[in-house]
Amino acid sequence: MQQLINGLSLGSVYALLALGYTMVYGVIKLINFAHGDVYMLGAFWGYYVIRFWHVNFFIALVSAMVLTAVCGVVIEFLAYRPLRHAPRITALITAIGVSYFLENIMSYFFGASARNFPQAIKVHSYHIAGISISNVQVLILVVSIVLMIALQLIIKQTKMGKAMRAVAVDPDAAELMGINPNHVISFTFAIGSALAGAGGVLIGLYYNSIDPLMGMVPGIKAFVAAVVGGIGSIPGASIGGFLIGILETMVQAIGLSAYKDAAVYIVLIIILLVLPSGIFGKRTKEKV
């Protein structure tokens, strides 16, 4: 049960990241490998506003979401929009290039060494039936679930959410019905990047350490979570994130900490072999 609690806390952050991957893929069929580095930008913004401006943690969280949303829109406009009709491999290589650009520019300006994230919230531990739960773990889980519910409401109940679903199904038909695909895609990047920024601030508070390369491995794990849940599926990304977080903590619990990353990639291989469309993915047939 202790490891389950730890896994849910970590998995909720992976779920926030995975949602960005799955939304972008669902709308424009692009795997945005720079998404993990947007998460890193959110963590650094939270670090600076808390340490130097001494703002409240929740103000830092919201401001990081706003900043990363803007960054996501700018990245889409400058890097991906000109390649909208290019082969997919071109956009994929560009995404990897954007990832390296963000990592190296942050290393150049802020140094490559790790920094201690300021403890904006005093840590308290609660012991219930032999299980230790900290207020930070509860905060991460609650904030993540609230953001996931808010995302679901946006997609299902708002006009822009309906437009997102229309563009995901058939962008040409959506455009004929008066929907501007560019606005929808920019909005999708903004929402996904805002969730990643929130995840960066939450993980900084959880691990108390950030660095310019911190988004690389979590970004890949979040991509695995999206694939496990079914790339393009919002509920699938959330469930996949929680599953990957629990898997990672369970592997650590049995004394195999050095292999926690390998376990995640093994799960990816198994899913691709046994259930290629993921747990909640749509199974489509291609005509020969």
Q: What is the pLDDT of residues 203-233, one digit of tens each?
A: 999 999 999 999 999 999 999 999 999 988 8
CA dist 23 and 31 (Å) reads 10
User: Quick one: average pLDDT of 130-145?
Assistant: 93
Identify the band that residue 166 occupies on the pLDDT scale cut at 50, 70 and 90.
Answer: very high
Q: What are the distances in angstroms from CA 218 to CA 56, 186, 195, 241?
A: 26, 23, 14, 11
Altogether, the residues listed in the chain come to a count of 288
Q: How many CB atoms lie within 10 A of CB 81?
A: 14
In the chain, which ranges are continuous DSSP H helix? 2-28, 35-52, 57-75, 88-110, 135-157, 159-169, 171-176, 181-207, 216-229, 234-253, 260-274
Identify the band that residue 284 occupies on the pLDDT scale cut at 50, 70 and 90.
Answer: low
Identify the band that residue 15 occupies on the pLDDT scale cut at 50, 70 and 90.
Answer: very high
CA dist 46 and 57 (Å) reads 8
At 242 the pLDDT is: 96
Is residue 286 predicted with pLDDT exceeding 60?
Answer: no
At 6 the pLDDT is: 92
CA dist 128 and 149 (Å) reads 27
The position carrying tokens 């998460």 is 39
Is residue 128 predicted with pLDDT exceeding 90?
Answer: no
Q: How many CB atoms lie within 10 A of CB 203?
A: 29
CA 38 to chain centre: 9
What amino acid occupies position 194? Answer: A
Q: What are the distances in angstroms from CA 126 to CA 123, 131, 136, 137, 250?
A: 10, 8, 11, 11, 21
Identify the band that residue 130 occupies on the pLDDT scale cut at 50, 70 and 90.
Answer: confident
For a pLDDT cut of 90, what percent of the chain falls above it? Answer: 81
Is residue 282 predicted with pLDDT exceeding 80?
Answer: no
Identify the band that residue 287 occupies on the pLDDT scale cut at 50, 70 and 90.
Answer: low
User: Quick one: average pLDDT of 68-84?
Assistant: 96
User: Quick one: average pLDDT of 230-258?
Assistant: 92
Phi, psi for residue 68 in degrees, rounded to 5: -70, -30
Is residue 148 predicted with pLDDT exceeding 60?
Answer: yes
Is residue 288 predicted with pLDDT exceeding 70?
Answer: no
N-terminal to C-terminal alpha carbon distance within the chain: 49
CA dist 48 and 243 (Å) reads 32
At 276 the pLDDT is: 85
CA dist 105 and 75 (Å) reads 14
